[in-house]
Chains A and B, each alone.
Chain A
């Protein structure tokens, strides 16, 4: 498979995966928002990408989440949380298993 086709496949997998995938840059601007995130947050990628995550979703616990995200940039390490404890953005998942 050539590089172009591999990249297309990766885009497809990230987009269609039944898991929320999003990415932010150091300024907390959203750079990636997949289909799962769009369906579960009720916000399409066009409405979110390029915007500051916390401006777009003011209901988020800013201090906690921003600290967690900044630590990832600072330490180049993983950070973890579990949706059972923090079900933000999972507006329509309460009945899903």
Chain B
């Protein structure tokens, strides 16, 4: 995660604060409530991106009310001001955070992963009203949830990165961790 923060800092040319990752195993029907507890009940926008290969799952980047507007110049979007660019900026920044974090995890676990294109999952919805995610929409019963929040120094930008890994993929992480620990023993 530290490496991911360093990569993001190089791209955005700003110091990145990241929280200690929060890890929990949850049932699918608990997910909507956990999301609200994590991101708050206010207006949010979210981008989702699947990852597949030797480790599969879904990553969600949740933005607060300010979205990514503070990053438009850093990502080269300040030449436009339209809805399409607004949406693409959310996806671009989402892809940056998801890619940097999962690339690091995959490298340490020595697994090969690929990403689907990021898509807008929610645009300015009220998380507390259950608009971010309804229960019964996920195809697994138990999953590992890893949550990190990011904040940029001197910018108002902040976001939550939530990675969801279905239970049958947890063994990939366990064997990867064993390989990793064997290598440093």
Contacts and interface: CB of A to CB of B under 8 A. Distances in A.
Interface of A: 61, 63-68, 71, 74-82, 85
A62 B11 CA distance: 17
10 contacts: A63-B76, A63-B79, A64-B79, A66-B76, A77-B95, A78-B95, A80-B91, A80-B117, A81-B92, A82-B88
Q: What's the dominant secondary structure at chain B's contact region? A: helix
Contacts of B76: 61, 63-68
Interface string B49-89: 00000000000000000000000001111111000110110
Contacts of A80: 91-92, 95, 117-118
Contact of A71 (B96, B114, B115): B96
A75 B99 contact: yes
A21 to B, nearest CB: 17
A68 B74 CA distance: 11
A64 B76 CA distance: 4
Nearest to A77: B99
A77 B88 contact: no
B103 A75 contact: yes
B37 interface: no
B7 interface: yes
A27 to B, nearest CB: 18
B100 interface: yes
Contacts of B96: 71, 75, 77
Contact of B92 (A61, A74, A76, A79): A79
Contact of A81 (B7, B74, B88): B88
